[in-house]
A = this chain, B = another copy of it.
Amino acid sequence: MRTAVSIDIGGTHTKLALVSDSGRISHRLTLDTRSSRSIESYLSALFEAIAGLVTQAASENMPAKGIGIGAPACNEHKGTIAHAANLLFKEPFPIRQEVSERFSLPVILLKDSSAAALGEQRHGGAGGMQNFALITLGTGLGSGLICEGKLVRGARGLASEFGHAIVDPGGRECGCGRRGCLETYVSATGIVRTAFALLAERKADSVLRGMSYRDTTAEDLFMAAGQKDPIALEAFERTGKILGLKLNDLVVAFEPEAIFLSGGLARAGELLLEPARKALQEHALHLMRGKVKLLLSELGAHDAALLGAGCTILHQQKEKIS
């Protein structure tokens, strides 16, 4: 059994673990990404955690063969993180090189959503699929595309930003500085915005009328929907509808076999899937109608990214050896 250190860098948490090529995840660790005040202190905590896992792997007679990193807003060609909306890294930071030099190990850097797509392909529901998309619904909306068997990285390693496809050019303000991006509607934060817009539009009573915007989460909406709260139910309905409509753009361009939903908001399951499937079907070109499956990821959001990043570096090393 071969082992890699795998890291999923997120705006809230940084998850680390040892990953084997058979897909086993062990020795999980979580860092609070937001508690670091500077890049230096974040890296110091990150390096310490990696060192611990490298030592652990060695002590089990399975020395780590490489390090796989999934991160938002990274450039896979250059190995840098930059302009990350929810991270301290604003200027391009050469994380791949820094980690590789520090631990004398090969390092791969992947977009978190791309890592999750690769994880889904290796150990989740996309086994054997040559054309599929994975959409992560967290604070933002991430996308990973596998097209004709290959991960889509783009001309400069900047592809897979479908969260910034524009739904409404004059619409909601986005963290990226533009307006109307898909993730301002379809994400854990987007659905809260929709619920508050509905509080203004509708007269129906709702538990949400007693809550502040700041305190309301997608989880609250999920709980309220479980109590048949009309505003929460309509928020899921509307969110799913926008998702289904916009996924049609991906479908006509790439014709994936399936689209997987992952991340916190995907835990809402049929509440979100049912209106999304309906809209995808309704807006589908007749040739493709009913042919593209919309499914929930078979792996947890973090596990998919950890598995994808870890297994990809192991696979690369294996290819180099053979």
Contacts of A37 in B (CB 8 A): none
Q: Does A177 contact B (CB under 8 A)?
A: yes
Interface string of A223-240 (1 = CB under 8 A from B): 000000000000000000
Q: Does A274 contact B (CB under 8 A)?
A: no
Question: Of the 9-residue stretches A28-36, A54-62, A95-103, A282-290, which lies at the interface with chain B?
Answer: A282-290
The chain B residue sitting closest to A255, CB to CB, is B154
Cα separation A159 to B164 with both chains bound (whole Å):
22
Cα separation A250 to B159 with both chains bound (whole Å):
9
Contacts of A245 in B (CB 8 A): 166, 169
Q: Tell me the number of copies of this protein.
A: 2
Q: 8 Å CB contacts to B: which residues of A271-305?
A: 283, 285-288, 291-292
Q: Does A262 contact B (CB under 8 A)?
A: no
Q: Does A13 contact B (CB under 8 A)?
A: no
The chain B residue sitting closest to A285, CB to CB, is B164
Q: A161-B252, A165-B248 are in contact. Are A155 and B285 (CB under 8 A)?
A: no
Contacts of A291 in B (CB 8 A): 155-156, 158
Contacts of A257 in B (CB 8 A): 155-156
Q: Does A130 contact B (CB under 8 A)?
A: yes
Q: Does A143 contact B (CB under 8 A)?
A: yes
Q: Does A172 contact B (CB under 8 A)?
A: no
Tier of interface size on chain A: 35 or more
Q: A165-B248, A285-B176, A287-B83 are in contact. Are A253 and B159 (CB under 8 A)?
A: yes
Question: Of the 9-residue stretches A144-152, A205-213, A311-319, which lies at the interface with chain B?
Answer: A144-152
Cα separation A143 to B253 with both chains bound (whole Å):
8
The chain B residue sitting closest to A163, CB to CB, is B252
Contacts of A176 in B (CB 8 A): 285-286
Q: Does A256 contact B (CB under 8 A)?
A: yes
Cα separation A292 to B159 with both chains bound (whole Å):
12
Cα separation A250 to B154 with both chains bound (whole Å):
11
Q: Does A86 contact B (CB under 8 A)?
A: no
**10 extra A-B contacts, CB within 8 A, seeds A153-B255, A162-B249:** A73-B287, A145-B254, A147-B150, A155-B255, A156-B255, A157-B255, A161-B285, A162-B252, A165-B248, A165-B253
A-B pairs with beta carbons under 8 Å apart, 24 shown: A130-B155, A148-B151, A148-B152, A149-B150, A150-B150, A154-B254, A154-B255, A155-B257, A156-B255, A156-B257, A158-B255, A158-B288, A159-B252, A159-B253, A160-B255, A161-B255, A161-B288, A162-B249, A164-B252, A165-B249, A165-B252, A166-B245, A166-B283, A176-B285
Binding site for B on A (CB under 8 A): 73, 82-83, 129-132, 143, 145, 147-166, 169, 176-178, 245, 248-250, 252-257, 283, 285-288, 291-292
Among all A-B residue pairs, the 6 with the closest Cβ atoms: A154-B255, A155-B257, A159-B255, A161-B252, A131-B155, A148-B150
